[in-house]
């Protein structure tokens, strides 16, 4: 009887659905939370690369269920986003409708794969029931400030109280507010002034900041949405623009986001990306007096303070206009105007080009009292540190390049540990001894840094401090298809909506474009007001909804809270989180930030979202190439193409198997190819291939639908795992799938054979199954799914050879196979007379006693080279092994009379004879 995968797979998919086989509501069991990063439902549907992580997490979730855990394994949709809106602009169709259609398509594809999601917990970030709570969290952020002393977010009322009693002098907060005021002054401020001050402390705040403006998308973008000076989505140019924007004060959490990386089991590469993104650097500020103004610089190398030969300010630095001498004014103005108007892209593309201008002013060195020239240069960034640097060209590569370009002095203050030519490059190693450095002379770099900081602090010329590269996250988007920000404006002051007015539903508009005045699309909405006051018209960015979605799955239907305390206390953190590494500095930082914030407010008993994170590799496409002879309709096989002059064209990969083109399919593909001729090699047309990104235009997209149609879902699941280690990126290639398909057929025959009459267990089969259980269990624990597939193949090969018909053995095999190939496992499980689903079975425990061998075939090496095998009882001691091998005729023959210097025996492993 042939294995009819189509019938069997749809039968069990229906069964699981009817039985609610994957609901996760048995709260008496221990919990386990396995989460996939949810997808953005694009119009293209899933290709074979998408399910890679989903299959792995599904296998693990099923494994944990069989081990007796109550497993939370949900799925949902990150359904706000740009593509649906761009489509809406073109067609006028509401993005909700296309989103709905795309979700239906995704769901159909996900169902085909036999995933064990608990669909009762499905969420969609664009549904008001969901984004109500995204808005609610925003409101909490608005009404909170960050206490640096407690290292914790606090309600804004506690800040107001302190202002009212003590002013702001004793407060150590994450804020850009720099002035101090007393309680009396605070009370004397009017409401608008108080609001303005508070805004500078809030964790969700409005401010005028330089943002990444993308004109083509009509919106601002966060730093992680800009790659190489262009937008990540669509690759449109991005420029810097000063705008009033909503931001989230993620920088308040920089240190905790950094420190807590030590507490989580994530890959080192993701942690490193986050560390670099946060970019902590410890250093000190130093004040330079300049015509009664103070220029404050930030440096991590105060040990080189005597090597300063000039200062450089960013073109946007506020003191530029005040410091510049009249004689230099026009030149400086010209430069500043030029630098400010350069787009981000120009700056990026032009990093090597050095530009700058002298202000004519001189500052006074705080220790030597020497005059120090003040320059302006666009290699100094306004947004980092103080926007000004002390240039030490001898020991900083950029300063060196600038000094060389403008012929400025280079003063060596560190004696290098290795020979160094200062005429060629800066010496920027943090190693060596201070020279020409006053009170620092003779100290090592590391000692000098400490001494310099304490001297700087004692003489009040600066203060030790820490800077982060990380910026606050811009939170407003000038777009329609996102969560409305629950804020209204009364007399120009921002107020949040009361939480009982949530959700603030996205209003209908007539066109999904900015208004004539350049306002965001929401400004088109009629009566978009709260009690008559206008509501904020920017919407939240794509990452808002995904920053807390893992919490909603715990209690998806809750109308009273984002999730109940009971649900949160039961489910706790994500135990295993699977997703792509491209989210390293975006989503994965934001979700950690929101988790810490909700923890600070007492809503969560944990401050990291996921204990363990695994990144699945990307699956690339393998394009199929055909070669058309120039000026003809003749195609030549890849091996012969060099004999002709050819044009390379893409053929649809779905017409190609093992590099061989299906010529009939190719002729039918396009009318122009219907009459094509082919020059074959060995009767076949062989295609060339190239690894590229999977995309429609390259005809290399392989959908799971096609594979499932041909081989079934179990086969696709196992084949994707069989391709190689989960974390590794690899090109998709259907070449090996027949191996997995053949395995499933062989497995099926094994069960059909046995069904004719079950028999007793033989020793060989017992050993096989226990060995398999052991290996598969170990592989599961280390997420090595590819090796498990091999193990199953070996198992089935061995059981087939042993003609095993033992029911118990075959049942064990069905159970351990069921996470990988759930449909066929259910079918054979039922065939063996089980009435309950295999998903309710228990993961078997292997019995070591079946694996014990009485004899071991020792590999015998001479000088480390394996020569022959020699069987000996496993219970022999090293001495007994040595004795037996010494007298073995085979060894004698190989040694040809020589006496071994030494015989090394590792019992149960190897014998090595040293001559």
Partner RNA sequence: GCCUGGAUGGUGGAAUUGGUAGACACGCAGGACUUAAAAUCCUGUGACCCUUAAAGUCGUGCGGGUUCAAGUCCCGCUCCGGGUACCA
Which 557-596 positions form the footprint of RNA (CB under 7 A)? 581-582, 584-585
668 in contact with RNA (CB under 7 A) = no
Q: Does 778 bind RNA (CB under 7 A)?
A: yes
Helix, strand, or coil here: 808?
Answer: helix
- List binders of RNA among 147-206 (CB under 7 A): none
Q: Cα separation of 542 and 587, whole Å?
A: 10
CA quadruple 704, 708, 714, 717: dihedral, nearest 10: -20
CB of 850 to RNA, least distance (A): 17
The answer to whether residue 900 forms part of the interface with RNA (CB under 7 A) is: no
- Which position among 387, 432, 486, 704 is part of the footprint of RNA (CB under 7 A)? 387
Stretch that binds RNA, among 71-79, 160-168, 343-351, 593-601 (CB under 7 A): 343-351
Cα(117)–Cα(548) distance, integer angstroms: 19
The one among 664, 848, 849, 902 contacting RNA by CB under 7 A: 902
Asked if 658 touches RNA (CB under 7 A), the answer is: yes
Binding RNA (rule: CB under 7 A), the pick from 191, 683, 865, 899 is: 865
Size of residue set near RNA by CB under 7 A: 91
Residue 664 binds RNA (CB under 7 A): no
254 is an interface residue for RNA by CB under 7 A: no
Residues 449-508 that bind RNA (CB under 7 A): 467, 469
**CA-wise closest residue to 636 among 652, 647, 624, 620:** 647
Least separation, in Å, of the C-beta of 259 and RNA? 18
Please report how close the Cβ of residue 314 comes to RNA at its closest, in angstroms.
6
Q: Which residues contact 498 (CB under 8 A, 6 or more apart)?
A: none
The correct pick among 266, 775, 823, 891 for binding RNA (CB under 7 A) is 775
DSSP type of residue 574: B
Considering the complex, state which of residue 253 and residue 528 has its C-beta at the smaller distance from RNA: 253
- Is residue 273 a contact point for RNA (CB under 7 A)? yes
Q: Which long-range contacts (CB under 8 A, 24 or more apart) does 754-763 make?
A: 754/804, 754/805, 754/806, 754/807, 754/810, 755/831, 755/832, 756/805, 757/805, 758/805, 758/806, 758/807, 759/805, 759/806, 760/806, 761/804, 761/806, 761/808, 761/809, 762/802, 762/804, 762/806, 763/850
**DSSP letter (8 states) at residue 834:** -
Kindly state the smallest distance separating residue 497's Cβ from RNA, in Å.
Answer: 35
**What residues contact residue 532 under an 8 Å CB cut-off, 6+ apart?**
none
Q: Residues 307 to 336: which contact RNA by CB under 7 A?
A: 314
Cα 333 to Cα 344: distance, rounded to the nearest angstrom: 20
Q: Which is nearer to RNA, 520 or 579 (CB)?
A: 579
Question: Which C-beta is closer to RNA: that of 283 or that of 542?
Answer: 283
Taking CB under 7 A as the criterion, the residue among 348, 436, 465, 884 binding RNA is 348
Q: Which stretch binds RNA (CB under 7 A): 21-29, 103-111, 251-259, 385-393?
A: 385-393
Q: Give the CA-trace dihedral at 164, 166, 170, 171, to 10 degrees.
A: 0
**Interface residues for RNA in 673-702 (CB under 7 A)?**
682
CA distance 448 to 568: 50
Please choose, out of 170-178, 761-769, 792-800, 829-837, the segment that lies near RNA by the rule CB under 7 A: 792-800
The 10 Å CB-count burial string (b at 16+, else e) for 188-218 is eeeeeebbebbbbbbbbbbbebbbbbbeebb
Q: Which of 42, 185, 281, 436 binds RNA (CB under 7 A)?
A: 281
Site for RNA in 723-762 (CB under 7 A): 723-725, 728-730, 733, 735-736, 738-743, 745-746
Q: Is residue 378 involved in binding RNA (CB under 7 A)? A: yes
867 binds RNA (CB under 7 A): yes
Nearer to RNA, 213 or 571 (CB): 213
In the complex, what is the shortest distance from the CB of residue 146 to RNA, in angstroms, rounded to a whole number? 20
- Distance separating alpha carbons of residues 824 and 747, to the nearest angstrom: 9
354-373 residues near RNA, rule: CB under 7 A: 355
The residue (of 696 and 865) whose beta carbon lies closer to RNA is: 865
Could you tell me if 200 and 176 are in contact, meaning their C-beta atoms sit under 8 angstroms apart?
yes
Taking CA 642 as the corner, what is the angle to CA 637 and CA 647, rounded to the nearest 5 degrees? Answer: 70
Q: How far apart are CA 679 and CA 633, in angstroms?
A: 11
Q: Are 87 and 98 in contact (CB under 8 A)?
A: yes
Binding RNA by CB under 7 A: which of 244, 269, 334, 564? 269
717 lines the binding site for RNA (CB under 7 A):
no
What are residue 469's phi and psi, to 5 degrees? Answer: -75, -30
Q: How far is the CB of 408 from RNA (least distance, A)?
A: 16
Task: Say whether residue 102 binds RNA (CB under 7 A).
Answer: no
Contact yes or no for 200/177 (Cβ under 8 A): yes
Considering the complex, what minimum distance in angstroms separates the CB of residue 765 from RNA? 16
Site for RNA (CB under 7 A): which residue of 116, 254, 786, 830? 786
Triad 719, 721, 722: Cα angle to 5°: 60
Minimum CB distance to RNA, residue 378 (Å): 5
Residues 222-251 that bind RNA (CB under 7 A): 223-224, 227-228
Q: What is the DSSP string of 27-68?
A: TTSPEEEEEEPPPP--TT---TTTHHHHHHHHHHHHHHHHTT
Q: Is 343 in the site for RNA (CB under 7 A)?
A: no
Q: Residue 20 carries which DSSP code?
A: T
- DSSP symbols for 647-681: EEEEE-GGGEETTEE-HHHHHHH-GGGTT-EEE-B
Residue with Cβ nearer RNA (419 or 518): 419
Pick the closest to residue 882 from 851, 915, 913 (CA basis). 913
In the structure encoding, which two tokens stand for residue 405, read together? 């370009």
Q: Which of residues 585 and 834 has its CB atom nearest to RNA in the complex?
A: 585
398 binds RNA (CB under 7 A): yes
Segment near RNA (CB under 7 A); pick from 8-16, 61-69, 778-786, 843-851: 778-786
Q: Is 349 in the site for RNA (CB under 7 A)?
A: no
Encoding tokens for residue 686?
């062989």
Residues 506-565 that bind RNA (CB under 7 A): none
- Is position 857 an interface residue for RNA (rule: CB under 7 A)? yes
């Amino acid at each position: 009887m042939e294995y009819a995968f189509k019938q069997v797979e749809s039968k069990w998919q229906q069964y699981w659905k009817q039985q609610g086989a994957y609901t996760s509501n048995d709260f008496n069991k221990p919990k386990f939370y396995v989460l996939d990063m949810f997808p953005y439902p694009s119009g293209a549907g899933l290709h074979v690369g998408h399910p890679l992580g989903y299959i792995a997490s599904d296998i693990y979730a099923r494994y944990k269920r069989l081990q007796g855990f109550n497993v939370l394994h949900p799925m949902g949709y990150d359904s706000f986003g740009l593509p649906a809106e761009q489509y809406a602009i073109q067609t006028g169709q509401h993005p909700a409708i296309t989103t709905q259609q795309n979700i239906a398509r995704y769901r159909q594809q996900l169902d085909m794969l036999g995933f064990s999601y608990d669909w009762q917990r499905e969420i969609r970030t664009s549904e008001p029931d969901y984004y109500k709570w995204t808005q609610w969290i925003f409101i909490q952020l608005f009404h909170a400030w960050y206490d640096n002393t407690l290292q914790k977010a606090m309600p804004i009322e506690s800040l107001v109280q302190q202002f009212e009693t003590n002013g702001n002098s004793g407060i150590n907060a994450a804020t850009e507010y720099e002035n101090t005021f007393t309680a009396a002054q605070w009370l004397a401020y009017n409401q608008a002034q108080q609001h303005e001050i508070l805004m500078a402390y809030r964790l969700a705040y409005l401010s005028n900041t330089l943002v990444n403006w993308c004109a083509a998308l009509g919106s601002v973008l966060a730093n992680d949405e800009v790659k190489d000076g262009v937008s990540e989505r669509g690759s449109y140019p991005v420029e810097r623009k000063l705008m009033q924007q909503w931001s989230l004060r993620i920088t308040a959490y920089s240190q905790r986001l950094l420190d807590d990386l030590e507490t989580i089991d994530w890959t080192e590469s993701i942690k490193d990306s986050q560390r670099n993104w946060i970019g902590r650097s410890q250093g000190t500020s130093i004040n330079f007096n300049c015509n009664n103004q103070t220029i404050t610089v930030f440096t991590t190398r105060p040990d080189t303070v005597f090597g300063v030969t000039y200062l450089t300010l960013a073109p946007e630095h506020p003191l530029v206009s005040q410091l510049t001498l009249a004689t230099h004014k026009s030149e400086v103005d010209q430069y500043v105007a030029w630098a400010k108007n350069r787009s981000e892209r120009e700056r990026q593309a032009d990093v090597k080009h050095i530009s700058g201008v002298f202000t004519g002013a001189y500052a006074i060195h705080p220790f030597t009292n020497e005059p120090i020239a003040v320059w302006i240069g666009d290699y100094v960034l306004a947004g980092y540190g103080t926007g000004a640097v002390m240039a030490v060209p001898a020991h900083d590569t950029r300063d060196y390049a600038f000094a060389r370009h403008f012929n400025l002095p280079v003063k060596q203050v560190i004696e290098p540990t290795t020979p160094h030519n200062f005429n060629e490059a800066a010496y920027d190693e943090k190693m060596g001894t201070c020279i020409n450095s006053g009170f620092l002379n003779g100290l090592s770099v590391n000692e000098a840094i400490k001494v310099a900081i304490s001297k700087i602090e004692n003489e009040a010329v600066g203060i030790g401090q820490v800077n982060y590269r990380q910026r606050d996250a811009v939170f407003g988007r000038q777009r329609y298809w996102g969560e409305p920000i629950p804020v209204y404006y009364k007399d120009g002051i921002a107020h949040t909506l009361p939480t009982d007015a949530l959700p603030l539903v996205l209003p209908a508009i007539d066109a999904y474009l900015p208004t004539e005045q350049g306002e965001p699309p929401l400004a088109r909405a009629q009566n978009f007001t709260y009690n008559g006051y206008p509501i904020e018209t920017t919407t939240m960015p794509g990452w808002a909804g995904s920053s807390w979605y893992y919490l909603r799955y715990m209690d998806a239907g809750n109308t009273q809270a984002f999730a109940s305390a009971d649900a949160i206390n039961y489910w706790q953190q994500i135990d295993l989180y699977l997703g792509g590494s491209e989210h390293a500095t975006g989503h994965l930082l934001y979700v950690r930030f929101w988790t810490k914030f909700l923890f600070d407010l007492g809503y969560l008993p944990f401050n990291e979202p996921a204990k363990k994170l695994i990144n699945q590799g990307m699956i690339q496409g393998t394009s199929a190439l055909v070669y058309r002879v120039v000026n003809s309709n003749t195609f030549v096989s890849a091996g012969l193409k060099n004999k002709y002059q050819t044009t390379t064209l893409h053929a649809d990969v779905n017409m190609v198997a093992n590099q061989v083109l299906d010529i009939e399919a190719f002729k039918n593909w396009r009318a122009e190819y219907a009459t094509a001729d082919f020059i074959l090699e060995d009767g076949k047309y062989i295609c060339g291939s190239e690894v590229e990104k999977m995309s429609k235009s390259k005809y290399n997209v392989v959908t799971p639908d096609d594979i499932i149609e041909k081989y079934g879902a179990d086969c696709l699941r196992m084949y994707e795992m069989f391709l190689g280690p989960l974390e590794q990126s690899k090109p998709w290639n259907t070449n090996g799938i027949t191996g997995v398909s053949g395995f499933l057929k062989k497995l099926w025959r094994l069960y059909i054979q046995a069904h004719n009459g079950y028999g007793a267990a033989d020793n060989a089969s017992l050993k096989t199954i226990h060995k398999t259980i052991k290996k598969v269990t170990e592989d599961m624990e280390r997420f090595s799914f590819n090796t498990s597939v091999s193990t199953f193949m070996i198992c089935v090969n061995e059981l087939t050879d042993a003609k095993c018909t033992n029911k118990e053995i075959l049942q064990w095999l069905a159970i351990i196979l069921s996470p990988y190939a759930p449909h066929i496992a259910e079918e054979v499980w039922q065939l063996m007379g089980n009435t309950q689903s295999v998903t309710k079975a228990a993961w078997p425990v292997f019995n070591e006693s079946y694996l014990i061998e009485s004899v071991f075939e020792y590999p015998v090496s001479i000088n480390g080279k394996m020569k022959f095998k020699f069987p000996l009882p496993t219970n022999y001691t090293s001495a007994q092994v040595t004795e037996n091998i010494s007298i073995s005729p085979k060894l004698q023959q190989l040694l040809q009379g020589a006496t071994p210097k030494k015989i090394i025996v590792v019992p149960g492993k190897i014998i090595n004879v040293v001559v």
